[in-house]
Amino acid sequence: MKESFDVPLVEDAKYYEVDKSYKDNARTRDYKKTYREFLKAPDVFWEKIAGELEWFRKWDRVKEWNYPYAKWFVNAQCNITVNCLDRHVNDSRRNKVALIWRGDDEEERIFTYQKLYHEVMRFANGLKKLGVRKGDRVCIYMPIIPEQLIAMLACARIGAVHSVVFGGFGVGALNMRIQDAAAKVVVTADISVRRGKSISLKAIVDEAIINAPSVERVIVLIRDKEQPVELHKEIEIDYDELIADVPSECPAEVMDAEDPLFILYTSGSTGAPKGIVHTCAGYMVGTYYTTLHVFDLKDNDVYWCTADPGWITGHSYIVYGPFCAGATVVIAESTPDYPDPGSYWKLVQDLGVTIFYTAPTAIRMFMKVGEKWPNAYDLRSLRILGSVGEPLNPEAFEWYYEMIGKKKCPIVDTWWQTETGMQMVTTMIGEPMRPGFAGKAIPGVVADVVDKDGKPVKPGTGGFLVMREPWPAMLRTVYKNDERYRKYWETIKDCYTAGDLAVKGKDGYIMVIGRADDIIIVSGHNIGTAEVESALVSHKAVAEAAVIGKPDPMKGNSIKAFVILRVGHTPSDKLTSDLIYHVRMTLGPIAMPHEIEFVDKLPKTRSGKIMRRVLKAKELGIDPGDISTLED
C-alpha cells in the first residue's frame, strides 16, 4: 500500500437538502439518533433486525468476535430462501410480482412470488437429482435471465454453495474459478444476447471445463429453440428436461448460521482471484436491513438495479436483499446504449421504476450523450437513485440529480465491497447530500479514515478507509486461503482494511478516492493488474508485462500494458491487436488493455518487483515519489 498522499480537499461544503417528506417517511427517520443507539448497544441493534426474519432456530448469542474471526447469530439455524420466498408466499405477498425480466428485444417475463417459489424448488430438485448435496459447489455462468437468479436461489435452498461467474468472463477466468472452487456442476445457457447479437456461452464453458476434473455435469438452458445446440449427453443435460418431471416442492435445507452460502471471486494482488466466502445468517440480515433502510424500500416500490448478478451488487441487491425484503425486482438483459441511449429511461417509464441503482460509469455515459434521451421519457415514477462501484464525481452527481432525479430524488452513493457483502457507507435518505462524498457509516457499521498505524487522520487529510468493528455480512474467509483473509484485519492494527484511499471532511462525510493497491476499477469492474499481466505473459510472444490504470473520463480508468517481447518477436500493430484479443479470450472484454506499449525494460526494485508506480508516474507526467529502491 502507499505510504502517504495528498488530496485536494476543499472545505467549502455544498450540501443538497432532500425534501422533508423523504425524511418524515424514512425507515431510518433520524440517522444521528439511530447511530447513537446502535453504538450504545450494537448487539441489540442487530438482534432487532434479525427478529423480523424467520428462523428454524434462534441464536444463542448475536455475535462472537475472536479477532479476526467473527461468528454472527451463533448456533442459529435458517435458510435464506425461506425469507426470500416462503415468508412472502405464506402472507399477503403471494401474488405480488417478485421479478420482471426484460430482454434486449423488449420481451418480458414476469414471476409472482408464488411462481418464483415453485421454479426455485423445481430447479433445486433438479440439482438434487444430479447428486448435488449441501456443501457442494455449483458454478453458475449465465446471462441476466430469470434462470440465473433461480439457479442461485435453488443452490441456497439445498445448501449447495454457488459461485456465480459473470457471463462476460473469458475461458481462462472461468476455468480458474471452476478449478479453485472444485465445482461439481456448472449451470449455463447456450447463448447470451447483447446488442441484438447472440454470444455463445456454452462454447466458453466447453473449453473452460477441459482442465477441470471436478465438473461432473453441465446443465444447459437452451434459449435458441430454432437452432438448438447439441448436447454431449454423457456430461451435459438440458435444463428443461432436468426439471420436467420433478416435484415442485423442495423443503429448505436447515443451515447453520455460519454455513457458507456462496463464494464470489474478486480480483486480488496476485494473478489468482480471491474466493470471498459469505455465510448464511449474517449475510441475510445485513442485506435485508440495508435494502430496507438504505433504499428506504416500501412495499409498492419497483426496484431496478442495473448490475449483473455475477457481481456482488447483483448478489446482495438484486437477489438476496430485495427478495428477503419482498421487493418487486426488475432485471434486464440490456445495454444502456442499445438500441439507443434511451433504453434505460424507456424501461423506467414502461415499468414505473421507483428505485434505480446504477454505476457512475453508466451515468457518465448518459451525460456524454446528452439530456435529450432522458427528457424523451416520463421519469416521474422515480423516487430514489443509487450509485455504486466507484466514486461518483460531483459533475456526475449533479447531472444524475438534475436530469434523472429532477432535483427531487435523493441519491444514495453507496460504498461497499464484495468482501463487505452489504452497503457500509452512504448518506441515509433524508440526510443532506454532499456531492463527491459517499457519506457516513450507516447505523450498524463503524468506519473511519486512518493512517497506516490506525490513527484517525485529520479532516481533509488522506488516509485508508477501515472498519473498526465486525459487521454481520462481512466475509468469513478467502476460500482455501485463510491467510489472505487475515491480511484484511492485520494490515492496519485492529481494523479491517478495505484497500481504498479516502478523506473525511470536518462534517464526518467520507470521500472515497480510489484503490490503494494494484486493483484497477474499469467501468466499475475490479481488475487486478496481476491478472492482466499473467494473461499477457501466457501469450507466446511476451516475456514480461506490467499493467497500470490510466484515468479515463468515462470508464474511471483504462488499462495500459507495457510489454517486453521474447527474442524473435517484433512490435507491430498486428501483434498489438493479437495481444488484446488474447487477453479478451482469456479474461473477457472487461479486462482488455486499451493501449499496449512495447518496451525493452521495466522499472524494477532490486529484489525484482516491477514498480508499476514509476510507470504510472511517467505516463501521467507526475512525480514518481520515492524511487530509492529502483534498480537503476
**Window 64 to 123, contacts with ligand WTA (CB under 6 A):** none
Query: Is-contact 463 276, C-beta < 8 A?
Result: no
154 binds ligand WTA (CB under 6 A): no
Those residues with Cβ within 8 angstroms of residue 197's Cβ, 6 or more apart along the chain or in another chain: none
Q: How far is the CB of 462 from ligand WTA (least distance, A)?
A: 14
417 binds ligand WTA (CB under 6 A): yes
Q: How far is the CB of 311 from ligand WTA (least distance, A)?
A: 6
Which C-beta is closer to ligand WTA: that of 131 or that of 551? 551
Query: Is-contact 272 176, C-beta < 8 A?
Result: yes
- Torsion, Cα 612 613 617 623, to 10 degrees, reads -150
**Interacting span for ligand WTA (CB under 6 A) from 96-104, 343-351, 416-424, 608-616:** 416-424
As given in the structure block, the three cell numbers for residue 429 are 435518505
**Interacting span for ligand WTA (CB under 6 A) from 72-80, 196-204, 410-418, 594-602:** 410-418
Query: Is-contact 167 129, C-beta < 8 A?
Result: no
Query: Is-contact 361 555, C-beta < 8 A?
Result: yes
Could you tell me which of 294, 274, 276 has the C-alpha nearest to residue 286? 294
Q: How far is the CB of 33 from ligand WTA (least distance, A)?
A: 25
388 binds ligand WTA (CB under 6 A): yes
Which C-beta is closer to ligand WTA: that of 179 or that of 414? 414
**Which one of residues 310, 314, 389, 549 is an interface residue with ligand WTA (CB under 6 A)?**
389
**Which one of residues 112, 313, 349, 358 is an interface residue with ligand WTA (CB under 6 A)?**
313
Which C-beta is closer to ligand WTA: that of 79 or that of 427? 427
**Interacting span for ligand WTA (CB under 6 A) from 53-61, 372-380, 408-416, 585-593:** 408-416
**Which one of residues 215, 219, 312, 384 is an interface residue with ligand WTA (CB under 6 A)?**
312
Which C-beta is closer to ligand WTA: that of 104 or that of 413? 413
**Interacting span for ligand WTA (CB under 6 A) from 185-193, 196-204, 233-241, 306-314:** 306-314
Question: How many C-beta atoms lie closer than 10 Å to residue 553's C-beta?
Answer: 11
Strand 328-332 and strand 97-102: the pairing is parallel
**Window 501 to 520, contacts with ligand WTA (CB under 6 A):** 512, 515
Q: How far is the CB of 422 from ligand WTA (least distance, A)?
A: 9
Could you tell me which of 406, 414, 426, 378 has the C-alpha nearest to residue 305? 414
Report how far residue 221's alpha carbon sits from residue 205's, in angstroms, rounded to the nearest whole number.
13
Q: How far is the CB of 390 from ligand WTA (least distance, A)?
A: 5
Annotate each residue in 336-375 with x if it binds ligand WTA (CB under 6 A) or - if it does not, as one string. ----------------------------------------
Find where cell 439455524 sits. Answer: 77
Q: How far is the CB of 234 from ligand WTA (least distance, A)?
A: 37
416 binds ligand WTA (CB under 6 A): yes
Q: How far is the CB of 203 from ligand WTA (least distance, A)?
A: 27
Which C-beta is closer to ligand WTA: that of 98 or that of 466? 466
**Interacting span for ligand WTA (CB under 6 A) from 48-56, 112-120, 383-391, 564-572:** 383-391
Could you tell me which of 200, 197, 198, 201 has the C-alpha nearest to residue 187? 201
Which C-beta is closer to ligand WTA: that of 53 or that of 363? 363
**Window 234 to 273, contacts with ligand WTA (CB under 6 A):** 266
Strand 425-426 and strand 440-441: the pairing is antiparallel
437 binds ligand WTA (CB under 6 A): no
Sheet holding 556-565, edge to edge: 542-552, 556-565, 595-598
Those residues with Cβ within 8 angstroms of residue 67's Cβ, 6 or more apart along the chain or in another chain: 489, 494
Could you tell me which of 135, 148, 162 has the C-alpha nearest to residue 101? 148
Size of the site for ligand WTA (CB under 6 A): 22
Phi-psi category of residue 372: left, alpha or beta, with phi > 0 → left and psi -120 to 50 → alpha: alpha
Q: Which helix H or strand E contains 271, and what residues bound it?
A: none
Sign of the alpha-carbon dihedral angle for 620, 625, 627, 629: negative
Q: How far is the CB of 516 from ligand WTA (least distance, A)?
A: 9
Q: What is the CA radius of gyration of the chain?
A: 24
Sign of the alpha-carbon dihedral angle for 52, 56, 57, 59: negative
Q: Give residue 369's Cα distance to chain centre.
A: 26
Q: Give residue 63's Cα distance to chain centre.
A: 25
294 binds ligand WTA (CB under 6 A): no
Which C-beta is closer to ligand WTA: that of 168 or that of 341? 168
Which C-beta is closer to ligand WTA: that of 189 or that of 498? 498
523 binds ligand WTA (CB under 6 A): no
**Which one of residues 150, 257, 521, 591 is an interface residue with ligand WTA (CB under 6 A)?**
521
The SS3 call for residue 323 is helix
Which C-beta is closer to ligand WTA: that of 126 or that of 462? 462
Q: How far is the CB of 525 from ligand WTA (least distance, A)?
A: 7
Terminal Cα distance for the chain, rounded: 22
As given in the structure block, the three cell numbers for residue 57 are 432456530
390 binds ligand WTA (CB under 6 A): yes
Report how far residue 564's alpha carbon sits from residue 188's, in angstroms, rounded to the nearest whole number.
37
Report how far residue 121's alpha carbon sits from residue 352's, in angstroms, rounded to the nearest whole number.
30
Q: How far is the CB of 519 from ligand WTA (least distance, A)?
A: 7
**Window 445 to 504, contacts with ligand WTA (CB under 6 A):** 498-500
Residues near ligand WTA (CB under 6 A): 266, 311-313, 388-391, 413-418, 438, 498-500, 512, 515, 521, 526
